[in-house]
Amino acid sequence: MNTVFLANAGGAAGNNWMMIILFIILIGFTYFGMIRPQKKQQQQRLQMMDKLKKGDEVILVDGLHAKIDKINSDKTVVVDADGIYLTFERMAIRRVLPAAAKPAAPAEAAKPAEAAKPAEPAKPASLDEAKKEDK
């Protein structure tokens, strides 16, 4: 009876090592798959909060689009939403709209004025080309 017990003891030791290795792999996956990317995202968000300045257009967590009017030292921001001044915590800002999108709007406004002119159809240079277009 004792020999059967001693024979099984050797197999159990190998199984324990396998469980420890699987546990270490699970911890590594959790760190590199979840914790590390979340820390990186949080660091980027804090850098964005530090770069805020007056006049930046932002989107708040509730979806409100506004422009920063004043940044207070107590980590609050006063935003101008169409003439209404509201005070929020800095962490209420979801993202800052890129400044490159602002100059594009006036360029698009100029295009419809050019498009208002009627386009003249292309005239064929010769009768042969006119017959080819008719076919």
**Pairing status of strand 57-60 against strand 65-71:** antiparallel
pLDDT band at 112 (very low <50, low <70, confident <90, very high): low
Indicate the range of 64-68, 75-79, 101-105 predicted with least confidence: 101-105
Residues 85, 98: contact at Cβ < 8 Å? no
Q: Is the dihedral of CA 40, 41, 44, 50 positive or negative?
A: negative
pLDDT one-digit tens code per residue, 32-60:
899 999 999 999 988 988 888 888 899 99
pLDDT one-digit tens code per residue, 89-108:
888 899 898 876 554 445 45
